[in-house]
Amino acid sequence: MAETPLVHTHRALNAKLVDFAGWLMPIQYTGVLEEYYAVRKAAGLFDVSHMGRIEVSGGQAEAFLQWISTNDVGRLQIGQAQYSMICLASGGILDDVFIYKTEPATYLVCVNASNRE
């Protein structure tokens, strides 16, 4: 099973670790309610090391992302991101992703671990 660079920190904090799409990931530290209230009143941190990162670049990058995603990539400015869906040809959802515009014709698409390959 794959491990993220933060697995030792998760273990040191007594995280409950489980298999998540072939990755050893924390699902809980102190308890569901305590963690829920912590992120509602302050902030939370999520290890995304297991997620896939795909760079899409070139003259047709924006058009390609417009075609495969459900949000309007053309609205993104450099340094901005948007949440979107990638759909199957049948209309179902393949994945929910974050699309970041990093340069004029360059985007970073973050996909879920189960769709890394």
CATH of the domain at 109: 3.30.70.1400
pLDDT over 80 at 42, yes or no: yes
Confidence at residue 115, expressed as pLDDT on a 0 to 100 scale:
73
Give residue 116's pLDDT band: very low, low, confident or very high (50, 70, 90).
low
Mean pLDDT of 21-49: 92
Tell me, yes or no, whether 90 lies in a domain. Answer: yes
What pairing do the DSSP bridges indicate for beta strands 52-57 and 81-87?
Answer: unpaired
Tell me, yes or no, whether 56 lies in a domain. Answer: yes
Query: Which amino acid type is present at position 46?
Result: F
Mean pLDDT of 75-82: 98
Q: How far apart are CA 100 and CA 107, in angstroms?
A: 5
Render pLDDT for 98-109 as a digit per residue (tens, 0 to 9).
999 999 999 999
Tell me, yes or no, whether 14 lies in a domain. Answer: yes
Tell me, yes or no, whether 47 lies in a domain. Answer: no
Confidence at residue 21, expressed as pLDDT on a 0 to 100 scale:
84
My answer on whether 32 and 67 are in the same domain is: no
The torsion angle over the Cα atoms of residues 88, 93, 98 and 103, rounded to 10 degrees, is 20
Range of the domain at 7: 2-41
